[in-house]
Amino acid sequence: MIGATLLNRYALTAPLGQGGMGVVYRAHDRLLDRDVAVKILSRPGLSDEGRDRLLREARAAARLNHPNIVGVYDAGEAEFQDLSRGSEGEAAGTAAFIIMELVEGQSLYERGSLPLDSTLSVARQICAALEHAHRHGIVHRDLKPENVILTPDGAVKLMDFGLARSAVPSRATPEGALIGTVFYLAPEQALGQEVDGRADLYALGVMLYELTTGRLPFAGDDPLIILSQHLHAPAPPPSLYRPDLPPALEAVIVRLLAKNPADRFASAGEVAAALTEALDGRLPAPTPLVRNNLPAAVTRFVGRERELAEVRRLLTDARLITLTGSGGCGKTRLALQLAETLRQAGGADRPYFPDGLWLVELAPISDPALVPQTVAARLNVREEPGHPVTQTLVDTLRPRTLLLILDNCEHLIDACARLAEMLLRACPNVKILASSREALGIAGETAFRVPSLPAPDPAALPPLAALAEFDAVRLFVDRVALARPDFQLAEANAAAVAQICHRLDGLPLALELAAARARVMTIEQIAARLDDRFRLLTGGSRTALPRQQTLRALIDWSWDLLSGAERTLLRRLAVFIGGWTLEAAEKVASDETPATGATDPAPQRPSLAAADILETLNHLVDKSLVLVEEPAGAPRYRLLETIRQYAREKLLEAGEAEAVRDRHLAYYAELTEKAGPGLRGPGQLAWLERLEAEHDNLRAALRWSLHGGPPESGLRLAGNVARFWYLHGYWREGRAWLQDALAQGTTPPTDADRRARARALAGAGWLADEDGSEVAFYEESLALCHALGDRWGAAFALRGLGSSATLHGELDRATACLDESLALFRELGDVWGCALALYNLGWVAINRDSAEPAQSHWEEALALFRRSGDRWGIAVTLGALGYLARQQGDYRRTMALSEEGLALFRELGDKAGIAVSLVRLGNLAFRRGDYRQALELLEKGLDLNRERGDSSGMMTALGLIGLVACYQGDYARARTLLEEAVALGRELSNPYDLPVVMSYLGLTAYYQGDLERAAAWWQDSLALNRQYDNRAGVGFALNGLGLVALRRGDLAQAETHLQPALAVQRESGDRRHIATVLHDLGRLALAAGDAVTAAGRLCESLTLRKQLGDRQGLAETLEALATARLEQPRLAARLLGAAEALRAALGAPVPAIERADLERDLAALRAALGDAEFEAEHAAGRALPVEKAVSLALEQRHA
């Protein structure tokens, strides 16, 4: 063609390149004296219709005029003249052509990798070109690096607009090659659907992915596999291959690659704006999702549009909807799809369920008593001692708005009905979506039957287009395409597809299992095989049988397709509940004995070696009988429940159940043996997570130990996981398992039995309610350990006995037990055990008012816990040291210790520890006079205690919140809160803090001026504090009674109460309380006319309060010192001004009972100084910094 001319105008001078649609030449436009590019459309097999369409689109593209688009000047058909044969030339042939702008440069494909800023610049220019084209109704359809030219000056030019449309009518040439560039093809384009500009945006996303990571998101040797990935597979995050990729840019790429066009950007202009913001670092953070634990779907949800819409409509008014239907009909998938639809539709700003959508899978549970506990675990509601888990659930969910999805209720129908009814009655904003083979049968329930998917009648086969509209066909075709990406519904296979869907009654699970066989069988073979199996099971009456039998027929068929080893493994895997690891399968499902590793084949079945488990397991995964999940860590496997039940029956038929259950129990007993030390060490979090994942298997193993398995293994297992149950809040369940395990016995017991029993008794003591019942457990454990020579077990039991004795005030016995425990742990070199014993010895010292030994014990315990890596031990010891630092007035250290402990409790997920830490920090903020922060922390702690149903914790938090309200002058609120706290305390068996709260009520009544009520509360508090031997509480109550006597003018009685109060507080070492009593003794001296003693006591109180940072206390004492210095009116006026400024900053007004005294002092000073001088001195005092005001008061101590 070189030398030929076109339209007597364009002389072809050199070839530029060749593509799928033809050859491109450099040509010279003789009319305008410029070089152009000429594309000669010469693709083999291009029909006349296809050529005409290309030319129409090229002419449409010629309307585009944009600096980033290669201009199209002309298009049409014409004869070529070969000018090399003379000036007139000869005809060289007829061809379709397109005349385009000639652009010098390289394609993006040829250029290769670019710096990130250059990539973004290129992408924004492409967006500008696309935005212009899309506005004119032109879609590129073949965007790829080869069609993007980079000029020498950095400009971008897009080529070939509209030239890919011929790829739409037929996705393959007669030779089987895909038309278009499959790597950049949008899903809707691959399906042959109508496309708009968002298909170009998808291709742009692929290009950006490639430019930023150096690889394509979807690749492979087979174009059909790549197509399947475009349709079904999520793209790996770009940051996986380029960790330094800005998150904002990654978010843009991921959104461009959305499978659904509606989830992509609406226009190229939006993409350009997002890229600009990404470049500037201003891309908004992704919108947070509604809280939920919904599993990510790994396959498309097909069909069910009507059911989905109807159930969603019903959920608008109904609070309980139960999806009923046969096994395998898709109840669970419909429930999850509805939940996901609600999650996406609600969004983050106005979610339908602000507190989340929560799935509770009940299939692994066989004990109805565990239903409330399982729901609580999924909602992260911890069980607490002395409080029913159902009530804890109700208390937690009452204020919440959420959707609870109870999945697979049929085997626990009564328990689910009771729980659902309780939640619906008590929690007005909770809705429940249940799935079950039968309705729950309670008031307010709306039952919705989930039918099989509509399936065609093979006897009246509809046309292909109508056949493709049946939901059963859509699902089957979709799932077959996962196994065989080249599969399409066609006339040749339509009859077989219709037969499969009809014979399987449109049951989704059955269809999915059948589709998985398409890897190794034709559709016709699948249909024929199913027909054989139905005839075998139904005796010819195939359509009249229950759906459960139909599903069983399908599983029988799948079973028959397995090899002997695959069948053996599958039935043995049925012993696992809730999943398993590869290691567990190798130990439990193989024929190797634990001791020798040798195989022990039974006479009439193939042996299964541990080394063969992985390959056989992978075969079962490939055949869709075993599911594999990959959380953080090793892969985890599980069976669909229907498959597991089927395999369990096969296990029983094979006579292997007892042996496999024994191995299952032995494996988990051994696993928990390893977990025991791990739960006390640096791997604590990992072990907690592992045991939580295996909890259903632990329950199954324990159940077998109680009903046929070796009791010794069950005892070992239960004793080993007691700490897990404690840390994760399964107290009630753990106690029940241990009680049942301990009730088992062997005759005669072996040493192994005794050792396991001793460990289980120690675990039972650890989980006991601390009401005295733990003593018998620890004593029996100690006796067994002594008999067995088990020094570690003896040390642990002695520690438990010492802790219990401390709690019940038997301090000498506690000391003896704990000293012996510590000595044994030291002999054993057990760092953790030493730390635990020292921690308990610290509390013995505190109960003896011996702060120095307590601090020494706790500091050593903390160092040892840190060495062991036990976060719980570190956290509780930090809390103990924080308590001591608070008593000593070192508030800064108290805060640091408490905050570190709080962080550790949060890592562990220990809500009890979190609540205690928050209340401690709130108390600290109160003592420092920061009432706003105090209330914020205390109310968070109160909320957690309410959620956990912890009455003792609620009482403490309410008491402190009420005390803050009292100091703020809101006496009505204070009284309400404190009376609620007292009511909670009266219901407790050991309400240690109850008398403290009573004293707060006494103070509130006193501040209001109600001396009778104040005296009554303080008298009650004094009696209870003496009963509980709470010395600090005794001092607080005596202090209050002294105030009442002082206010009544009975100075002798006041002295009788206040002096012992000071002595007790000095013994307890709480400097805040010491300062309070000194202040009141100073006021007593003032009332007695002893100014020197008054000044001394008040200044000592002021000094302590300054050291503590107790700003409210400073205001009180400055006011009292002003009263003592009335003969120095200027000083007194300044001190009162400083106190007023402090109270204003705190929001702590003068108590009602003291206002008259203050007004009297102010009037006296005003009279002594005159109004003007008084105002000046008072204002000067208000302007004084706190430190200077205190210094001013102390400077005048001896004046």
Peptide bond into 454 cis (omega under 30): no
Distance from first CA to last CA of the chain, Å, rounded?
Answer: 118
Residues 6+ apart with CB under 8 A from 487: 477, 480, 481, 518
Picking from 181, 132, 176, 121, the residue whose alpha carbon sits closest to that of residue 154 is 121
Q: Do the bridges between strand 148-150 and strand 106-107 make them parallel or antiparallel, or are there none, so unpaired?
A: antiparallel
Judge whether 74 counts as a catalytic residue: no
CB distance 635 to 582 below 8 Å: yes
CA distance readout (Å), 605 to 569, 591, 600, 608, 645: 12, 11, 11, 9, 21
Strands 445-449 and 320-324, bridge-based pairing: parallel
Distance CA 555, CA 534 (A): 11
Residue 279 vs residues 118, 150, 157, 530, 1098: alpha-carbon distances, Å: 11, 20, 22, 58, 65
Q: How far apart are the C-alpha atoms of 443 and 1003, rounded to whole Å?
A: 50
Residue in 29, 142, 1080, 1110 annotated catalytic: 142
Cβ-proximal residues to 829 (8 Å cutoff; 6+ apart), any chain: none
409-440 core/surface letters (b: 16 or more CB in 10 A; e: else): bbbbbebbbbbbbbbbeebeebbbbbbbbebb
Radius of gyration, alpha carbons of the chain: 40
Instruction: Give the contacts of 1109 (CB within 8 A, at least 6 positions apart).
Output: 891, 927, 928, 929
Tokens of 361: 């899978």
Nearest to 1139 by CA among 1099, 1100, 1181: 1181
Task: Name the nearest CA neighbour of 885 among 923, 942, 941, 937.
Answer: 923
Three-class SS state of 139: coil
Q: Are 589 and 570 in contact (CB under 8 A)?
A: no
Q: Round to whole Å and give the CA distance between 522 and 444.
A: 49
Cα(271)–Cα(279) distance, integer angstroms: 12
The residue to which tokens 């066909």 are assigned? 473
Distance CA 617, CA 625 (A): 10
**What is the distance between the alpha carbons of residues 148 and 796, in angstroms, rounded to a whole number?**
74
| Tokens 């007035």 belong to residue | 889
Question: What angle is formed at CA 462 by the lines to CA 461 and CA 466, rounded to 5 degrees?
Answer: 145
What are the tokens at 44? 């083999």
Distance CA 321, CA 301 (A): 21
Catalytic residue annotation: 142
